[in-house]
């Protein structure tokens, strides 16, 4: 039998062969013992490689049984896996199809059927259970299973460039081993174990897939089936195999994890089977010299060339991995006397250290009296530890990554990030040297030096993970948050706080436990880096796995930090109940860890979570939060966060006066130049806008603009946010030309940095449309509609943001004299708001007001008055009796009552609006209410005086008041004639 070459198999995998040629290959695969294994190797190199299907290819939207195909998840030589939708139970699941070229080949069809039968027998958390089997209308078989979202272990390994990161995957290998041990207990051998057939789920779960080559332990006939790099020698030779072939493959997976490369890496695929038969792979100790001795023993025993020298069962392999992860003695490892003494010493370190402290103190006194000039070489060359973390090579890699985004602010962002990192690493080096020299001078003990060095190592790991994230995923969001993320790195100064370091629970002394803690801390650092860059789902997935493992290790400080970070990510994602739950777990772990700072942080998360949930009593928690902050040192940073949380709660309750007081207290505790306190300044400025204090808001946003341009640059999206706010307050102040300049600049920055389809670009379009509308610019409506189209596409037609934009577009249509069109939009906007917030929410008042005015404009004053009165009642409850917003409603009510003939009520409403508007900085707003009051009065000197005041104000507004100016002039002529008569 002549086998196709590798190039032809590659072409088959990628669907490049003609139909008849593909069928020939499929028939050959059914008869050949070697090519299916080679096919698996080649297919693992090609993302989503799969069997080519002639004619009508199944695609998204096609029906398979009772299910609808959504998108392809993956594929290989034995079929294609699709994500599918179950319309009956409203869920997603996975469907595996054999493939149209192969389903007509009896041997492959039988393999597919055997895979379904075998997998259906297995009930284990790490094995996907078969739920249903069936046949498509074209005769193609399929089966249905749970959809597991995640990455193949092979891809996960490839994304872990450092040994420490890969070592953290050993628990995943342990989970695979447990699953295979279970399968062996059910009489099933997998026969094709490899990292490509292991899925690491989005929440840390580990699943073994692709049981197409599995067989019963009673049927272990020969044949070269599997993937050569992970084959036991007897399997590569075509001999009969038993459970020990799977044990070898599990050892090969562990080898791949530790070495970062598969066994026999570098050997051509076609020669791998021969290499497996001739020699063992390169020694693991050489490829991964940092591997713990116990793990080397486990991997080497599992991959022993002779089956008799391996673990007899996967269960025994699983037990040894479990003992290693639990810090217990590994059965297969032969410990030297030195290793046993070292383990015993570290387990009993507390008792030993008491004696050592006294001895060391005596020695220190004796040594100092004899010689104080000895240099400690540990104090030299500290900057070398930054190699590979922040050095010229890493700097250039990040510069290149940023430039690859194509964003106009990429170069400026890199310069700012580099400057910040240079400062941070200089401080790190100086602190490390200072700690070392303090010990050399006898000012602190060696034990305290170890604590300080450990703290600095943690800071370096945190920095390394952040830079790795910046370097490896250079997308727009990463670039946008780059400066902020580097500014939020943990302070180096904390590593010099000796009281806090001595009070904390020290790291484990047991080497295995210490290694596990170090691995989990590095994964925690990665999760924190992802969170800082706004990649919350990825960060949460990483944290979920860490949290469970941290809880199993008797080291509470790690568990406390992990739980707190989980709470933080849930809060940032808007899931406040889960944030609260995680924060309570963090407090419990923090108490065991004596970690007062994390306890205070967690209490603050609870305060925010409760304040963000309607009906929850956040006030009852305040004493506990205050106590926790005091115990943590009553730092300005914690107190500032506390007042910010109280302000947020008051803001959500529309208690604006109290919210302002809290925001001001928070801001007074921090440096306005510190990016960590910048959010408080933003919140205070936004609150001023809501209060109608637009001149106060303008000053705050102008201050922010200077800070943002300095720290982020003029082309950064966050700078555009401040420009947008300045446009808004300038519009509210009636300074339309200034508003237009700010809006045009904000739009240009957002289009350049975010693109034409980003919702934030839509916001800028909308606001510029509002400004142009006031300037009577005919382009106004088109800007509104462009923005609305972006929002509807991005968020959906029923999203509250769409409702808000509908209301603003309606305002523009009213200005254009299209009240009926405005009414339709406002009715839709009101329905969206009520659905989102409930019928009594304060923000509904704005839409009620706009709808009422539109109805009055459309000669429906009675209907309009109902909505306006409801809006007035709501505004009064939430904003008070004299808020500027009430003037808008009162103007509408006065116009409605005037049209209804109720002059007395119209006069009272217009007079009240006039009094409120006296302090308004917008001349057009004062002109509107003065002219309205004149029309209500109709005649008399006061009416004429008010109309003339309105005329002067409109005249000063230029083109934006030209229409109203003409209306006032017309009224004055008519009123003048009437008065003359």
What is the per-residue DSSP string for 730-745? Answer: HHHTT-HHHHHHHHHH
Whole-number Å distance between alpha carbons of 54 and 72: 17
Whole-number Å distance between alpha carbons of 86 and 65: 10
Average pLDDT over residues 597-616: 89
* DSSP states along 417-476: HHHHHHHHHHHHHHHHHHHHHHHHTTSS-HHHHHHHHHHHHHHHHHHHHHHHHHHH---H
Q: Are 896 and 865 in contact (CB under 8 A)?
A: yes
Other C-beta atoms within 10 Å of 65: how many?
17
Name residues whose C-beta falls within 8 Å of residue 588's C-beta, 6 or more positions apart in sequence.
none
Q: Are 776 and 963 in contact (CB under 8 A)?
A: yes
Average pLDDT over residues 482-489: 91
Domains of the chain (ranges, CATH numbers): 6-145 (3.30.200.20), 153-328 (1.10.510.10)
Tokens at residue 524, please?
């925690």
Average pLDDT over residues 63-87: 81
Over 90: is that where the pLDDT of 77 sits? no
189 forms beta bridges with: 215
Over 50: is that where the pLDDT of 1 sits? no
Tokens at residue 730, please?
């300038």
Q: Is 38 exposed, middle or buried (0-12, 13-18, 19+ CB in 10 A)?
A: buried
Of 657, 613, 654, 693, residue with least CA distance to 874? 654
Task: Determine phi and psi for 16, rounding to 5 degrees.
Answer: -95, -5
pLDDT at 45: 33
Q: How far is CA 814 from the centre of its chain?
A: 41
pLDDT at 562: 92
Q: Which residue has the higher pLDDT, 875 or 219?
A: 875
Q: Which segments of 712-839 does DSSP mark as H helices, in order?
A: 717-732, 736-753, 759-774, 780-795, 800-815, 819-837
pLDDT band at residue 374 under the 50/70/90 scheme = very low
Of 839, 835, 894, 838, residue with least CA distance to 864? 894
pLDDT at 363: 41
> How far lies 836's CA from each of 149, 804, 830, 833, 921, in Å?
30, 12, 10, 5, 33
pLDDT at 220: 52
Tell me if residue 167 falls in helix, strand or coil. Answer: helix
Average pLDDT over residues 442-468: 89
Q: Which residue has the higher pLDDT, 418 or 340?
A: 418
User: For residue 487, is it left (φ>0), alpha (ψ between -120 and 50) or beta?
Assistant: alpha
Question: Residue 145: enclosing H or E segment and its boundaries?
Answer: strand 141-145
pLDDT at 349: 42
Q: Which residue has the higher pLDDT, 19 or 393?
A: 393
Average pLDDT over residues 868-886: 89
Q: Which residue has the higher pLDDT, 144 or 963?
A: 144
pLDDT at 189: 92
Average pLDDT over residues 919-926: 85
The 10s digit of each residue's pLDDT in 161-176 is: 888 888 989 989 999 9
Q: CA angle, 320 as apex, 317 and 325 as ends, to 5°?
A: 125
Sign of the CA dihedral 245, 251, 254, 259? negative
HSE, CB side, 13 Å, CA atoms: give it for residue 853: 23
Secondary-structure breakdown of the chain: helix, strand, coil percentages, each rounded to the nearest 5: 65, 5, 25
Tell me if residue 979 falls in helix, strand or coil. Answer: helix
Tokens at residue 191, please?
């026969």
Whole-number Å distance between alpha carbons of 843 and 103: 60
Q: CA angle, 466 as apex, 464 and 467 as ends, to 5°?
A: 65
pLDDT at 912: 95
Q: Which segments of 153-231 does DSSP mark as H helices, in order?
A: 153-158, 163-167, 170-185
Name residues whose C-beta falls within 8 Å of residue 1's C-beta, 6 or more positions apart in sequence.
28, 31, 32
Task: Determine phi and psi for 306, rounding to 5 degrees.
Answer: -90, 125
Task: Determine phi and psi for 132, rounding to 5 degrees.
Answer: -165, 150
Question: Residue 215: enclosing H or E segment and its boundaries?
Answer: strand 215-216
Whole-number Å distance between alpha carbons of 269 and 707: 58
Whole-number Å distance between alpha carbons of 943 and 946: 5
Question: Residue 64: enclosing H or E segment and its boundaries?
Answer: strand 63-64
pLDDT band at residue 24 under the 50/70/90 scheme = low
Task: Determine phi and psi for 206, rounding to 5 degrees.
Answer: -120, 130
* DSSP states along 265-319: TTS-HHHHHHHHHH-PPSPHHHH-TTS-HHHHHHHHHHT-SSGGGS-SSHHHHHH
Q: Are 166 and 153 in contact (CB under 8 A)?
A: no
Q: Are 188 and 122 in contact (CB under 8 A)?
A: yes
Q: Which residue has the higher pLDDT, 103 or 581?
A: 581
Name the one residue in this structure whose structure tokens are 């250039």.
396
Q: Please give the span between the terminal C-alpha atoms of the chain, in angstroms, as a whole number.
A: 117
Whole-number Å distance between alpha carbons of 910 and 738: 30
Report the chain's mean pLDDT, rounded to a whole number: 83
Q: Are 169 and 156 in contact (CB under 8 A)?
A: yes
pLDDT at 543: 84
Tokens at residue 371, please?
């010689």
Q: Are 609 and 579 in contact (CB under 8 A)?
A: yes
Q: Are 133 and 143 in contact (CB under 8 A)?
A: yes
Over 60: is that where the pLDDT of 19 sits? no
Whole-number Å distance between alpha carbons of 385 and 823: 67
Over 80: is that where the pLDDT of 434 sits? yes
Whole-number Å distance between alpha carbons of 829 and 807: 6
User: For residue 817, is it left (φ>0), alpha (ψ between -120 and 50) or beta?
Assistant: left
Average pLDDT over residues 413-429: 94
User: For residue 263, is it left (φ>0), alpha (ψ between -120 and 50) or beta?
Assistant: beta
Q: Which residue has the higher pLDDT, 60 or 530?
A: 530
pLDDT at 341: 59
pLDDT at 100: 55
pLDDT at 979: 58
Q: Are 851 and 823 in contact (CB under 8 A)?
A: yes
Tell me if residue 124 falls in helix, strand or coil. Answer: strand
Average pLDDT over residues 660-675: 81
Other C-beta atoms within 10 Å of 255: how many?
25
Q: How many residues does the chain have?
A: 981
Tell me if residue 950 falls in helix, strand or coil. Answer: helix
Q: Which residue has the higher pLDDT, 478 or 340?
A: 478
Among 414-423, 664-673, 942-951, the range scoring the smallest mean pLDDT is 664-673
* DSSP states along 229-253: GG--HHHHTT----HHHHHHHHHHH
* DSSP states along 872-911: HHHHHHHH-SS-HHHHHHHHHHHHHHHHHT-HHHHHHHHH
Whole-number Å distance between alpha carbons of 193 and 215: 13
């Amino acid at each position: 039998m002549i086998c196709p070459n590798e190039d032809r198999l590659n072409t088959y995998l990628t669907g490049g062969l003609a139909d008849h040629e593909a069928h020939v290959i499929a028939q050959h695969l059914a008869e050949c013992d070697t090519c299916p294994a080679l096919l698996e190797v080649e297919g693992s190199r090609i993302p989503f490689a799969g069997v080519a299907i002639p004619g009508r290819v199944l695609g998204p939207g096609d029906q398979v049984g009772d299910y609808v195909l959504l998108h392809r998840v993956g594929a290989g030589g034995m079929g294609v896996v699709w994500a599918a939708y179950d319309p009956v139970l409203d869920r997603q699941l996975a469907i595996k199809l054999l493939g149209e070229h192969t389903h007509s080949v009896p041997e492959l069809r039988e393999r597919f059927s055997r895979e379904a039968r075998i997998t259906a027998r297995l009930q284990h958390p790490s094995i996907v259970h078969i739920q249903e089997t069936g046949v498509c209308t074209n005769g193609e078989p399929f089966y249905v299973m749970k959809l597991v979202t995640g990455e193949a272990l092979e891809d996960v390994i490839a994304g872990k460039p450092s040994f420490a990161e890969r070592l953290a995957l050993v628990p995943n290998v342990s989970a695979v081993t447990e699953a295979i041990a279970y399968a062996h207990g059910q009489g099933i051998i997998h026969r094709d174990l490899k990292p490509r057939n292991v899925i690491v789920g989005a929440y840390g779960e580990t699943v073994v897939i692709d049981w197409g080559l599995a067989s019963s332990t009673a049927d272990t006939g020969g044949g070269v089936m599997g993937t050569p790099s992970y084959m036991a020698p007897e399997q590569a030779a075509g001999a009969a195999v038993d459970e020990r072939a799977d044990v070898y493959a599990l050892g090969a997976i562990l080898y791949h994890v530790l070495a970062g490369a598969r066994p026999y890496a570098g050997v051509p695929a076609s020669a791998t089977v021969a290499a497996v038969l001739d020699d063992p792979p390169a020694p693991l100790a050489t490829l991964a010299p940092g591997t713990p001795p116990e793990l080397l023993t486990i991997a080497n025993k599992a991959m022993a060339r002779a089956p008799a020298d391996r673990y007899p069962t996967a269960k025994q392999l699983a037990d040894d991995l479990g003992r290693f992860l639990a810090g217990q003695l590994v059965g297969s490892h032969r410990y030297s006397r030195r290793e046993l003494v070292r383990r015993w010493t570290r387990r009993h370190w507390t008792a030993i250290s008491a004696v050592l402290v006294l001895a060391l103190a005596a020695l220190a006194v004796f040594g100092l009296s004899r010689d104080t000039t000895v240099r400690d070489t540990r104090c030299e060359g500290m900057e070398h530890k930054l190699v590979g973390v922040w050095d010229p090579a890493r700097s250039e890699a990040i510069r290149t990554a940023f430039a690859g985004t194509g964003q106009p602010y990429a170069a400026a962002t890199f310069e700012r990030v580099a400057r910040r990192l240079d400062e941070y690493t200089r401080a790190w080096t100086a602190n490390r040297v200072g700690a070392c020299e303090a010990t050399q001078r006898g000012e602190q003990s060696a034990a305290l030096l170890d604590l300080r060095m450990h703290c600095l190592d943690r800071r370096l790991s945190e920095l390394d993970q952040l830079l790795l994230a910046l370097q490896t995923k250079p997308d727009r969001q990463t670039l946008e948050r780059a400066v902020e993320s580097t500014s939020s790195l943990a302070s180096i100064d904390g590593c010099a706080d000796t009281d806090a370091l001595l009070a904390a629970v020290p790291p484990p002394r047991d080497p295995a436990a210490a290694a596990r803690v170090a691995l989990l801390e590095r994964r925690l650092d990665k999760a924190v880096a992802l969170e800082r860059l706004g990649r919350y789902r990825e960060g949460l997935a990483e944290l979920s796995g860490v949290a469970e493992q941290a809880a199993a290790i008797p080291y509470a400080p790690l568990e406390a930090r992990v739980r707190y970070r989980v709470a933080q990510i849930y809060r940032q994602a808007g899931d406040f109940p889960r944030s609260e739950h995680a924060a309570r777990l963090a407090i419990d772990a923090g108490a065991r860890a004596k970690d007062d700072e994390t306890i205070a942080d967690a209490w603050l998360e609870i305060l925010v979570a409760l304040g963000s949930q309607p009906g929850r009593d956040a006030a009852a928690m305040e004493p506990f939060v205050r106590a926790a902050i005091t115990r943590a040192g009553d730092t300005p940073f914690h107190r500032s966060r506390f007042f910010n949380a109280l302000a947020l709660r008051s803001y959500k309750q529309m208690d604006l006066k109290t919210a302002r007081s809290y925001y001001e207290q928070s801001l007074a505790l921090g440096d306005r130049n510190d990016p960590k306190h910048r959010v408080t300044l933003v919140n205070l400025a936004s609150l001023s806008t809501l209060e109608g204090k637009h001149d106060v808001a303008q000053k705050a946003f102008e201050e922010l603009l200077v800070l943002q341009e300095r720290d982020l640059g003029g082309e950064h999206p966050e700078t555009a946010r401040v420009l947008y706010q300045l446009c808004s307050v300038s519009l509210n102040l009636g300074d339309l030309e200034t508003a237009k300049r700010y809006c045009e600049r904000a739009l240009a920055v957002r289009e350049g940095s975010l693109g034409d389809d980003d919702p934030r670009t839509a916001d800028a379009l909308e606001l510029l449309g509002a400004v142009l509308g006031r300037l009577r610019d005919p382009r106004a409506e088109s800007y509104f509609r462009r923005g609305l189209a972006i929002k509807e596409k991005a968020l959906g037609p029923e999203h509250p943001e769409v409702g808000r934009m509908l209301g603003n577009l309606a305002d523009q249509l009213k200005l254009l004299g299209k009240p009926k069109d405005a009414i339709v939009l406002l009715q839709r906007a009101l329905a969206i708001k009520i659905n989102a917030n409930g019928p009594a929410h304060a923000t509904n008042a704005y839409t009620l007001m706009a709808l009422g005015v539109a109805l009055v404009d459309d000669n429906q004053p009675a209907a309009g008055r109902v909505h306006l009165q409801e809006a007035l009642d709501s505004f009064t409850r939430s904003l008070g009796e004299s808020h500027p917003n009430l003037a808008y409603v009162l103007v509408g009510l006065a116009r409605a009552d005037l049209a209804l003939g109720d002059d007395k009520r119209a006069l009272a409403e217009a007079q009240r609006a006039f009094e409120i508007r006296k302090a308004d900085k917008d001349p057009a707003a004062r002109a509107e209410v003065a002219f309205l009051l004149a029309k209500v009065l109709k005649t008399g000197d006061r009416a004429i005086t008010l109309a003339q005041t309105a005329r002067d104000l409109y005249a000063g507004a230029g083109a934006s008041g030209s229409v109203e100016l003409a209306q006032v002039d017309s009224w004055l002529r008519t009123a003048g004639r009437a008065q003359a008569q």
